[in-house]
Amino acid sequence: MMYCRMGGAVRRETGGRHAHSHMRDMLDNHCERGAAMRLSARVGTGALVAVALVASLGGAQSSRTGSSPLARVQSVAMRTASDTIEKGLDARPTQAFRSRNDSLASVRTRQAADRSSDLRIVVSLNDRMLWAIMGPDTLLTAPVAVATEETLEYAGRSWHFETPRGVRTVLAKRENPAWTPPEWHYAEVARENGLKLAAMKPGRTMLSDGRWLEVRNKEVGVVQNGEFALLPTDEEVIFDNTLFIPPIGTLNRRIEGELGHHMLDTGNGFLFHGTPYKATIGTAATHGCIRLRDEDIQWLYDMMPVGTRVYIY
């Protein structure tokens, strides 16, 4: 993920985003989609029957949209070279809890998952692993990326990135989902590139040279001498050394490809989704969501119906 510099906006790259403003050189970042479904090596006869039952439950739970090319990329810095999927799989993460209450929540959630006999998704944050279980049978075992547990402070605001423990529910499923970036995304881009940060105002957002930003037909543009010129929707809006946050609902506040090809929504912004950053699987790398490999999230998308319980401990 890199940035090029040219004018008034910064483009995030995932397969082809260019940049405006003086950022960094462009990096090619390709996302390969896994094809086969993965089952746990321990699947027995009962689990195979369960898979057949799950397949009949998991389909047709969400509207499908046409595929779209990967376009924008989250501004989060890539992890270090040693923070790879091999590290995540081969080295057992250190057990860690945020507090005594967090530890108790982990125990209660794991016990609740063990008591359940329904189809369910179980995630261990400390182990960075996910299991799809039906009754006593494990249908899928998969490594995941979890939250960094880091805090971002910028422009007088603070965000802490954690994946909450507890019981959740799959509320919706989407294929080729677009991402509406929260404000912390723009704070990260601004901090990484030495920019000020400001939200666009209703109506006109005035610039220092007399021009202004304005939204028309859900797209941000700049007005000069009465002429309205659209800004590219796949670029950050940067003028006067300031990154302007587009209003929610505009096409400029929408990023394609960042969530991979499939997504399960458990509410309040906590998603299970794919990622173009393959090396982060098995590590603490997200802002709260659970990232999976393409083949694993596709398996969950196909097999887990809306309403499935999710236990995160």
**What's the rounded mean pLDDT across residues 29-55?**
42
Same domain, yes or no, for 146 and 50?
yes
**What's the rounded mean pLDDT across residues 82-95?**
40
Which pLDDT does position 113 carry in this prediction?
Answer: 97
* pLDDT grade for 147, boundaries at 50, 70 and 90: very high
In a domain, 37, yes or no: no
Same domain, yes or no, for 211 and 243?
yes
CATH code of 136's domain: 2.40.440.10
Same domain, yes or no, for 82 and 153?
yes
**Domains: count for the chain:** 2
Same domain, yes or no, for 240 and 102?
no
In a domain, 143, yes or no: yes
Residue % of the chain over a pLDDT of 90: 67
Same domain, yes or no, for 123 and 213?
no
Residue that has been written with the tokens 């543009």 in this structure: 221
Higher pLDDT, 73 or 244: 244
In a domain, 91, yes or no: yes
Same domain, yes or no, for 94 and 237?
no
Same domain, yes or no, for 82 and 132?
yes
Which pLDDT does position 289 carry in this prediction?
Answer: 97
In a domain, 264, yes or no: no
Q: Among the listed ranges 64-68, 137-141, 260-264, 284-288, which one has the minimum average pLDDT value?
A: 64-68
Arithmetic mean of pLDDT over the chain = 78
In a domain, 249, yes or no: yes
Whether 236 has a pLDDT exceeding 90, the answer reads: yes
What CA–CA distance (Å, rounded) separates 30 from 64?
23
Query: Closest Cα partner for 150 from 98, 199, 109?
Result: 98
Amino acid at 200: M
In a domain, 19, yes or no: yes
* pLDDT grade for 53, boundaries at 50, 70 and 90: low
**What's the rounded mean pLDDT across residues 171-197?**
97
Whether 32 has a pLDDT exceeding 80, the answer reads: no
**pLDDT tens digits for range 245-291:** 999 999 999 999 999 999 999 999 999 999 999 999 999 999 999 99
Same domain, yes or no, for 245 and 282?
no
Query: Closest Cα partner for 20 from 259, 258, 254, 244?
Result: 244
Same domain, yes or no, for 51 and 145?
yes
E-strand spans in 88-171?
A: 120-124, 129-134, 137-143, 146-147, 151-154, 157-160, 166-169
Rg (CA), the chain: 21
**What's the rounded mean pLDDT across residues 41-63?**
47
What CA–CA distance (Å, rounded) separates 10 from 32?
25
Same domain, yes or no, for 150 and 282?
yes
In a domain, 16, yes or no: yes
Which pLDDT does position 118 carry in this prediction?
Answer: 96
**Claim: this prediction has a pTM higher than 0.85:** no
Same domain, yes or no, for 146 and 54?
yes
**What's the rounded mean pLDDT across residues 127-146?**
97
Same domain, yes or no, for 22 and 155?
no
Which pLDDT does position 101 carry in this prediction?
Answer: 87
Whether 3 has a pLDDT exceeding 70, the answer reads: no
In a domain, 177, yes or no: no
Which pLDDT does position 97 carry in this prediction?
Answer: 80
What CA–CA distance (Å, rounded) separates 27 from 12?
10
Domain that includes residue 149, residue range: 45-60+73-168+276-312
Which pLDDT does position 169 carry in this prediction?
Answer: 98
